[in-house]
A and B are shown apart, each in its own frame.
Chain A
Amino acid sequence: MRDMQERGIMSDQLLTISGLSAGTEDKPILHDISLSVGAGETHVLMGPNGAGKSTLGHVIMGDPVFQVSSGSITFDGADVTELGPDKRSLAGIFLSYQAPVEVPGVPLYSFLRTICQMRPELKTTARKFRTRVGEIAEQLEIDQNFLTRELNVGFSGGEKKKIEMMQLLLLRPKLAILDETDSGLDVDALSIVSRGIEAYRQECDGALLMITHNTRILERLTVDRTHVMVRGNLVAEGPASLIDDIDAHGFARFEEALPQKAEA
């Protein structure tokens, strides 16, 4: 555990979003978003369904479906607003998808090997890599047989999320955005995925931006900041205790407080 003081001396934020508005070609979704995440911090982004939380995650990752109309995204000291998702990934941003795609024909193991070998800091021998994958598979209770199967093809929702966690632990990003990683998981899978997140926090000292509307997965994490999004606007920011407040009272008061005109 690091104390607040230690974190205080890190003047530069890892991720700084300022005045960001974005949407699809015909529909604005995010309005004037500003948000900062310091290195190693854990942030939670909450909000009702359809608030634009996932969109923000995708925009930070660089999904070309969304276009930024104003504002900027700075990551690790560099403006990444114009970069494609591949460059952002190599810079240290990771997005765990709410519904990871199935990629027929691409075996999981060779996929993992490929995405690690393309990063100079992760390059390693085939043998060491195999050992490392074996450790993570054990940690996340992933059957070894999955490694030879096609990436996510026919995997259950829980298995897909475990595979996302496996990539998170292999890639060791500086920032992990977890988009509804807890949704649709049973108790056992949820506990395994939580273990994966904890391992990432401890082993990689990475920052987390958790997108969720469920507070259960947060129970085992020390949350630094909580952000609330309603209709594409960030309407509140506060300490971890904000989560308990939302747990008890829901989003109603935030929704009422946001003037309708902001919806644009």
Chain B
Amino acid sequence: MAEATENTRKKSQVADVDRSLYDFKMSEEGYERYADGLSTDIVRAISEKKDEPEWMLEMRLKALAVYEEMEMPANWGPSIERLDLNHISAYVSPKTKQADSWDDVPEDIKNTFERLGIPEAERESLAGVGAQYDSEIVYHNMRAEVADQGVIYTTIEDALHDPELEPIVHEYFGKLIPMRDHKFAALHYAVWSGGSFVYVPEGITLPYPLQSYFRLNAQGAGQFEHTLIIVEPGADLHFIEGCSAPKYYEANLHAGAVELYVKDHAKLRYSTIENWSKNMFNLNTKRATVGADSIMEWVSGSFGSHVSYLYPTTYLQGARSSCEFTGITFAGATQDLDTGCKVILNGPDTTASVDTKSISKDGGINTFRSSVIVGRRADRARATVSCASLMLDDISRSDTIPAMDVRNGSASVGHEATIGRISDDTILYLMSRGCSEGEARTMVVNGEGAIG
């Protein structure tokens, strides 16, 4: 009987995310790797290597001072105690120059991205691709017809070396996410490396998405890429961000920053598929500001990392602008994912719609935080937040923490949360009607998924 009980008691048959796709490591031979921890020397060395303008070095040094002065976030979200910043290398780079042809990318790095399907996706469905390997972008290319329209898709480093683009970067970089935002924002500005600079000129609609893929291969390293996107009036862009890393025992850190400027009558869709390994601390900051009659769409899939703190934030500044946030998170064993989103409705007749689903299993923890703030000027603003959480067994957890701050009497804000747990009793009930355990769980998951 012992065996039969074991069989029928198996906690769940909903498969984990297949990580075999991401769990391969490449040698770090020939790497340039800076000493672990942080110091003025390291910050200066990064800046010097990038041959940056003086203002950027000053910004880095100031950020380092802010970082050292600020406290670690306490009483907030999952524990980050295991993250020892003295054992994280801020800069790790493969010794290669950025290429615009995959043939010029070193073999093992090229293989990495081949296995992740990036060149194939580029050929078939993307307007441009940037690929970052540890601290540096190793490949960047865009279709000629897109470049001909004046679209710029490059690295921040290259933009800083371009006399036409440098003033634009200077104008926008670090303005939406201030370095004092939180300790990891300060850290980011001190040691940022890699990422993307995208500029879509007025009235241009990109026929295909641009995609940046971030791969962290080195053990005990940090990835601090900065993404800066400017969508000028009447322009339309879909940007895709993908992230993955092989699994190591030591903690890795991702503290990127994403700043998105969407001007009037424009549209930006920002999609993220995050599949970090389960030793990753993903402390990422993303923010968008949206002009009049414009649309900001977030599609956010969080499947990996050990601990995540991720709350993309949207400022709806212009009248009639809107934000749509669609998120799905999946937390399995050893994962504690604290995700959500924040929308600040400042313009009149602005609308925000947040729709998230989370699944936790095998002891995984999902916390969904939403924050909706309606400003005084935001007459007739409307916001709805809906959040469905499902726990696949009795040992997993899911929490929903909605916050609302409405300062305009004509605004309407709604929140709806459904939390479901597949209890052992439910599984027994469905099994005693003939469903296998897998069928029983699928039935409930599909049912839950269909609600609302």
Contact = CB atoms under 8 A, between A and B. Distances in A.
Interface of A: 61-65, 67-69, 81-86, 88-90, 94-95, 97, 100-101, 103-107, 111, 114-115, 118-119, 150, 167, 171
Given A62-B8, A67-B1, A101-B423, A85 B447 contact: no
Nearest to A81: B1
B73 interface: no
B87 to A, nearest CB: 43
Contact of B5 (A61, A67, A104): A67
Contact of A106 (B418, B432, B447): B447
B434 A84 contact: no
Contacts of A84: 4, 7-8, 431, 437
B38 to A, nearest CB: 49
Contacts of B443: 103, 106, 111, 114
A104 to B, nearest CB: 6
Contacts of B420: 104-105
B143 to A, nearest CB: 44
Contact of A89 (B5, B433, B448): B433
B53 interface: no
B103 interface: no
Closest 3 pairs between A and B when the two form their complex, measured CB to CB: A105-B447, A82-B4, A106-B447
B407 to A, nearest CB: 36
Contacts of B449: 105
Nearest to B429: A101
Contact of A171 (B433, B440, B444, B450): B433
A249 to B, nearest CB: 35
A146 to B, nearest CB: 16
A67 B4 CA distance: 9
A62 B437 CA distance: 13
B58 interface: no
Contacts of B415: none
Given A64-B9, A84-B8, A85-B8, A100 B433 contact: no
How big is the B interface, by class? 20 to 34
Nearest to A66: B5
Interface of B: 1-5, 7-9, 418, 420, 423-426, 428-437, 439-440, 443-444, 446-451
A89 B4 contact: no
B8 A118 contact: no
B426 A101 contact: yes
Contact of A63 (B1, B428, B446): B428
Given A85-B431, A106-B443, A171-B434, 19 more contacts: A62-B431, A62-B432, A63-B432, A64-B8, A67-B5, A86-B436, A86-B437, A89-B431, A101-B425, A101-B426, A101-B429, A103-B426, A103-B429, A104-B418, A104-B447, A115-B434, A150-B447, A167-B433, A171-B433
Contacts of A95: 432
A96 to B, nearest CB: 10
A85 B424 CA distance: 13
Q: Is the interface of B mostly helix, strand, loop or mixed?
A: helix
B282 to A, nearest CB: 30
B444 to A, nearest CB: 6
Contacts of B437: 84, 86
A88 B447 contact: no
B98 to A, nearest CB: 49
Contacts of A103: 426, 429-430, 443-444, 447
B432 A61 contact: yes
A65 B1 CA distance: 12
29 contacts: A62-B432, A63-B432, A64-B5, A64-B8, A65-B424, A67-B1, A82-B4, A84-B431, A84-B437, A85-B428, A86-B434, A88-B432, A89-B431, A89-B432, A94-B432, A97-B429, A101-B423, A101-B425, A101-B426, A101-B429, A105-B420, A105-B448, A105-B451, A106-B444, A107-B447, A114-B435, A115-B434, A115-B435, A171-B433
A103 B7 CA distance: 23
A52 to B, nearest CB: 18
A68 B4 CA distance: 10
Nearest to B3: A82
A60 to B, nearest CB: 10
Contacts of A65: 424, 428
Contacts of B435: 86, 114-115, 118
Nearest to A89: B434
Which interface residue of A68, A104, A111, A167 has the most chain B CB atoms within 10 A? A104
A144 to B, nearest CB: 21
Nearest to B448: A105
Nearest to B438: A86
Which interface residue of A83, A85, A89, A95 has the most chain B CB atoms within 10 A? A85
Contacts of A114: 435, 443
A250 B439 CA distance: 44
Contacts of A167: 433
A7 to B, nearest CB: 28
A69 B2 CA distance: 9
Contacts of A61: 432
Contacts of B440: 86
A88 B428 CA distance: 12
Nearest to A82: B4
Contacts of B424: 64-65
Contacts of A119: 434
A246 to B, nearest CB: 29
Contacts of A69: 1
Contacts of A107: 447
B451 to A, nearest CB: 5
Contacts of B429: 97, 100-101, 103
B451 A104 contact: yes
A92 to B, nearest CB: 10
Contact of B1 (A82, A86, A101): A82
A86 B8 CA distance: 9
Nearest to A95: B432
B5 A105 contact: no
A36 B425 CA distance: 27
A259 to B, nearest CB: 27
A94 B429 CA distance: 11
Contacts of B439: 118
A63 B8 CA distance: 9
A61 B1 CA distance: 14
Contacts of B4: 81-84
Contacts of B2: 67
